[in-house]
Structure 1
Amino acid sequence: RRKPASIRPRGEGIYVAEFTPQAEGPHRIDINWSDKPIPQSPFNIQVLPLFEPNKIIVDGPGIRNGIPASLETYFRIDTRDAGFEQPDILIKNPEGLLTTSKVINNADGTYKVIYKPNDVGRYLINVNYGGIPVNNSPFNVKVEPTGDPTKCHISGNGINPNLQVGEEYSITVDTHEAGPGAVTCRIRSTLGNDLDLDIVDNEDGTYNLFYTPHNPGNYVIKIKFGGQDIPGGDFVVTVKKKKKKMLHMSFAFLYY
């Protein structure tokens, strides 16, 4: 169907015509002057969809099988031929829990997605564009163990069975002889919530883990290297409230 364009003058003898296509596919543009077609009119154009997820290219080591657990990996998303939208990334670990990822916009129509698979098993990587899955999404990626966790040693006051609320505790993991890999840890409370912790790579073959329990109860601590359990690294600590200090008073009676 015909739809008139919006025409406005821009300088002497110059006009600008604006229109918004309402559908994709072939369109014909008729330009007339004094009710007669100008040279080369009509013009035939092809209107493309606003975005085309099937033209997205996803590639890189982060979507291929055999990724080593606990080590950072990445993949690329090329949207240059796919129209104007933003990619949406959702990564789930073997337990179905979300895995944090970092998306870097290279400002040229490509993106770099960085994530670290902490666990061994199958990861599902969902890549959507405009809410629609791209080709081959979700990507089913197998993560493999790496290193030798039996060569790791743990120490520190954070492995003591009895702890107090509000105190910061630390665990040191020595990985000097364990080979390639990294330390990961998860601390879960009796309520099923994950406790925040900081993992510091000292870059000398040791790691320091810091955590502060804020509520009383039992906490399950699981420490892994290269996606595998460290011997003695799966244990429970009991956190109790601090005992209130009792005020002791003494009295002296004098008799006359």
Structure 2
Amino acid sequence: MARLPRFQSLTVALADRSGKAVAIDVLDNNDGSFTVKYTAPRPGAYQLNVVFAGAQVPPIEINVEPQVDTSGIRVTGLENAIVTVNCEQEVHVFTPDGDNTRIVITSPSGSIVEAVIESTDTGFRVCFTPSEIGDYSISVTYRDLPVGAPYLLHSVPDGNKAEAEYVVSRCGPPRADLVTVTGPGLGPVIAQRSTHVFIDTTSAGFGDIDLFVDGPTRTPIHCVDNHDGTLTMYYVPKTPGVYYLRVMFDSNHISGSPFQVLAVPALLASSLTADREKTESSFTTLSSGSSTPKTAPCV
């Protein structure tokens, strides 16, 4: 029980469900209000009683939830953040308490995706097939608390792979200076979210296109042949920092390459001072010489 010296007519007491008193600290805010601080010794129901000028204020019921530790929960199978539409995907959720772990997959259109969730000795095996093109969100919660940020997968069409051979023009010598790159992927971009650039080679002549994304971490990339002399390259910057997009045509940099791209955290509005040490990612080579792109099957 606590009594404030300046207000002798006010008393405050906190007790657990068995009636055992809990130590409290009542602070006068000097504006007619008070702050009550306490540390609950264990989860459960508590009751705060306030008496003012001899009159009992209706008791305040407090329910203290157990402390939730999500450090033992992790998700694997998301190393390649770009996947192919209509190909089954599999991820594994490791959790020590499956009864209180929930997994929800949301499609690009906002609908909940049906998934096969199987219990394993270490958690769950989750299988689903993306049927739409765009960003899929995988949310994992433990006792209604989110485990990290939602995990993102970007689904792309199945007819074009990054290794496809591609005719960028039917005639003329290679002209790297005539290749243009536009789109949101030139930055600034948001870490852990898919972005893309649009590459126009319609006036560039014959030649190979090599695409690289260099940055703090290895970066998945995926190219889509638009069959009109243009292509779209998708990539996911996994961590905040400075990335470099290199576009080579016939072994020469195009105008503006390498493009410097800043990736920022989703909740951070200010600019970051990023480590500029580059780690080369996997690269894409698009070669002239065939009018039919070679595609790889779903794996």
TM-score in terms of structure 1 length: 0.36
Q: Which has the larger radius of gyration?
A: 1
